Chains A and B, each alone.
Chain A
Amino acid sequence: MKLPGVPYTPRYTTDEKVLGIVVGIALHLLAIGPFVYRAIVPAAPEDEEKELVARPVVQASILKLGKPIDPKKLPDRLVPQQRTAPKKQITASKDDPAKVKPDAGAPPENVTDSDIQNLVNKSDPFAEDAGKKRPEEGAANGSDAGNETDPNKAHAGDLYALKLGQLFGQYLTVPSVISGGEARRLCAVFEINVGKNMIIWHVKTEPVKSSGNPLFDDAARSMLLKLLDEHKPLPEPPKELDELFRGRRIQVQVPGDPQGASACK
């Protein structure tokens, strides 16, 4: 840039400009040289006579879950992961969750609720650090018995009943003095009343059908009483199921087996 009052001095000398042009041409030749050479000098004839080599096609499949396990390998240890965070709750309220609610103020005296107790209640028994992360075992090609994940293909009523069952299950805690094998044989049935606004307003404390194990009945009853105390509306039922749930008396089957309800059938 030429500045006023300042004598102009070229940035490069003539020799430098010539050198730059020569270097630029040389670099371009280096880049296109092989192509020019290939165009001028044809490929060697023996290359054309070389037979095609048949290479086996490797059949690959996408691994969905992990690598198949070696049938002779001793298994890894399965331990519950440390979990002290609150369980994921299904939002049943119509209220805007982002809406800031007024501060409830200081807790009343002799309050029995505490953060530490809540943390203990929501943690897993025996949960521990599972050690180093290991590759997940699974079927290389996925499982034929996969679950349907498209909600439009599943029955709306089934989905709603499942949603309610999962919500209730978050409040169910079975004491460990009931062994897993014993729990799998248990099923208790209780009755609740749901209001028009989908809030549970009554729990019949005597079971409609006892499991036969008083401690399990206690656990099932405690689950329902916790829901009663929360005074929160249950998820809204689909329109076509509204009359079956809203303002109705509902029976709640509580199976001891978290994986299934075979004992309730």
Chain B
Amino acid sequence: MQVKRFTSLLPIVTAAGIAVFMTVAMPASNAGAQPAPAGSGGAANPLPSATNAGGAVTTITVQGGSRSLFKIAVTSPLGDAAIGSQLQDTSSRDLTLSSMFQVLDPKSFTANLAQEGMTIEPTSWRNVGAEGVIKGTTQNRGATVHVELRLFVVSRGANEVLKKEYDVAPGAIRSAAHQFDNEVVKWFTGTAGSFGGRLVFSATTGRGQKGIFSIESDGHGLGKLSTVSNVALAPAAANGGIYYAGGLPDGSYELFKVGNPTAVLKHSGLIFGVAFGGGKMAVVVSQNGASDIYTGPPDGSSLTKVTSGGLNTHPAFGPGGQLAYVSNTGGGAQIYVDGKRAIFKGAYNMAPVWCNDPEGVKILFMGRDGAGWDIFSSDASGGGIKRLTQDQGSNTYPACSPDGRMVAFFSTRGGLYVSNPQGLNQQKIASVTGESLRWEGN
């Protein structure tokens, strides 16, 4: 009976066996049947390589593609909640302003941070779209706070790719975050970021009065610096100090350093501006109706006039020691580099600064366009001019971060803005306007 039942099932069993053999042994020969999709790192099924007459493997080249901000989750470090919140806020703002990262909303985090500890569960973070995670711990150690911060890259697994520790004063928590954020940028790009730096500028403080101000590059800590008089112009940062041209009651203008009531440089003419770079300094001296630029060692000795005639102002040294400035010797105000006119577009361009952009050294300047001003960039030789702002109010006095990845400028939109060197991701960091903006370290 059982034999008979088996005999009746024999054709079905045979057919099933053939089907299994076809599926396992000859996957490629069956046009309709596909092996289950697999993305494992194991050896691929040994299918024959597509070859042509030359024996080459079939190759296709991907065309196009898009770019997206790196999505990063910044968590509040474990430990003191207030310190953790300060670190989280500072890092989130830095990374947002950098134009490289999209900081995810902490409300979207699904990972159990306490359970994870100082590792990550990659799946939890991948599910919320995070490509990177910043975590940390803080610990009060008497007069200092010990801060440990770690960077995780979700595709790299559960362990951190970067770990840094800092011991800082309770009032300097933000500096620890800035330092770590600079390291994060370095891990991704090979060169550190410029977070935590200062911007200096002059601004009107009253009728006929100007003062020198500084502000951190994320918009915190706006403050007026102490100057010798109520007329302080054209600040420049160098050697750990801020220099400026100070107007004195006798009508003279001399070079001062913030915190030092004595002039560091005097001249028979009026000193209206200064720049440092490439181991040199440049000063603008106005005399006999002309304004010329003198260069020499940074101590102000042996200054040599490098321009002749006309009005020459706004000196700025490039990374290679090149000197850019504004001159009207060719008619309207234009940008010159090392004595030669560099910008030939636009009727009135001024306030050049150099930008050590990783994509290539650039000159940033403001150009008059109609009734207002806009920010432009060019390559070091003056070619390849690109516009960073347009139809967004009047935008003036660009400054570039030391790492060349951020540009700051004033705008009549109501304050101080930063963007990337292409003018994208423009974000207001403070409601303050002024002139002669300089980024410390550049």
A201 and B34 contact, CB distance less than 8 A: yes
Q: How far is the CA of A172 from the CA of B65 in the complex (A)?
A: 5
CB < 8 Å neighbour of B67 from A78, A125, A251, A261? A125
Chain A residues with CB under 8 A of B31: 196-197
Q: Is the C-beta of A214 less than 8 angstroms from some C-beta in chain B?
A: yes
Looking at the complex, which one of A132, A225, A253 makes contact with B62 (CB distance below 8 Å)? A253
CB distance from B277 to the nearest CB of A (A): 23
Q: Are B28 and A196 in contact (CB-based, < 8 A)? A: yes
Q: Closest B residue to A112 by CB, please name it.
A: B127
Report whether B367 and A244 are in contact in the complex, using a CB–CB cutoff of 8 Å.
Answer: no
Nearest chain-B residue to A114 (Cβ)? B129
Q: Is the CB of A255 within 8 A of B61?
A: yes
- Is A229 within 8 A of B64, CB to CB? no
B189: min CB distance to chain A, Å: 6
Q: Which residues of A contact B220 (CB under 8 A)?
A: none
Question: Is B291 located at the chain interface by the 8 A CB criterion?
Answer: no
B residues less than 8 Å from A161 (CB atoms): 60-61
A176 touches B66 (CB 8 A): no
Number of A-B contacts (CB under 8 A): 209
Closest beta carbon of chain A to B411's beta carbon, Å: 14
Q: Does A66 contact B (CB under 8 A)?
A: no
Please name all residues of chain B whose beta carbon is closer than 8 Å to the beta carbon of A197 when the two chains form the complex. 31-32, 34
Residues of A within 8 A of B63 (CB): 162, 165-166, 168-169, 258
Please report which residues of chain B, range 100-128, place their CB below 8 angstroms from some CB of chain A when the two chains form the complex.
Answer: 100-102, 127
In the bound complex, CA of A258 to CA of B41 (Å):
27
Contact A181 B188 (CB under 8 A): no
Q: Given A161-B60, A177-B189, A179-B189, decide whether A245 and B390 contact each other with a Cβ distance below 8 A.
A: no
Q: Once the chains are docked, how many angstroms separate the CA of A202 from the CA of B60?
A: 16
Task: Report how far A199 CA is from B35 CA in the complex, Å.
Answer: 10
- Specify the main secondary structure of chain A where it touches its partner: mixed
Q: How many residues of B contact A (CB 8 A)?
A: 69
Given A75-B345, A193-B44, A248-B47, A177 contacting B101 (CB threshold 8 A): yes
Q: How far is the CB of B214 from chain A (nearest CB, A)?
A: 28
The answer to whether A258 touches B58 (Cβ under 8 A) is: no
Residue numbers in B under 8 Å from A200 (CB-CB): 37
Interface residues as binary, B60-81 with A (CB distance below 8 Å gives 1, 0 otherwise)? 1111111111100000000000
> Smallest distance from the beta carbon of A2 to chain B beta carbons, Å?
74
Task: Output the nearest chain B residue to A169 by Cβ-Cβ distance.
Answer: B64
Q: Which of B49-57, B230-238, B244-252, B296-304 makes up part of the contact surface?
A: B49-57
The one of B61, B387, B389 in contact with A75, judged by C-beta atoms closer than 8 angstroms, is B387
> Are A244 and B50 in touch, CB under 8 angstroms?
yes
In the complex, the answer to whether B64 meets A180 with C-beta atoms within 8 Å is no
- Name 4 extra pairs, CB < 8 A, besides A124-B66, A176-B101: A174-B65, A175-B131, A195-B35, A252-B60
Top 5 nearest A-B pairs (CB, nearest first) are: A172-B65, A169-B64, A248-B50, A77-B390, A165-B63
Q: Which residues of A contact B (CB under 8 A)?
A: 71-80, 112, 117, 120-121, 124-126, 128, 131-132, 161-162, 164-166, 168-170, 172-182, 191, 193, 195-197, 199-206, 214-215, 218, 220, 223, 225, 228-229, 231, 243-245, 247-255, 258, 261, 264
Chain B residues with CB under 8 Å of chain A are 28-32, 34-41, 44-45, 47-52, 57-70, 99-102, 127, 129, 131, 153, 155-156, 188-189, 344-346, 358-360, 367, 369, 374, 376, 385-392, 420, 423-425
- A sample of 17 inter-chain contacts (CB < 8 A) reads A77-B389, A125-B102, A126-B420, A131-B391, A165-B63, A168-B63, A173-B65, A182-B189, A196-B32, A199-B34, A202-B45, A225-B39, A229-B37, A250-B57, A252-B59, A253-B62, A254-B62
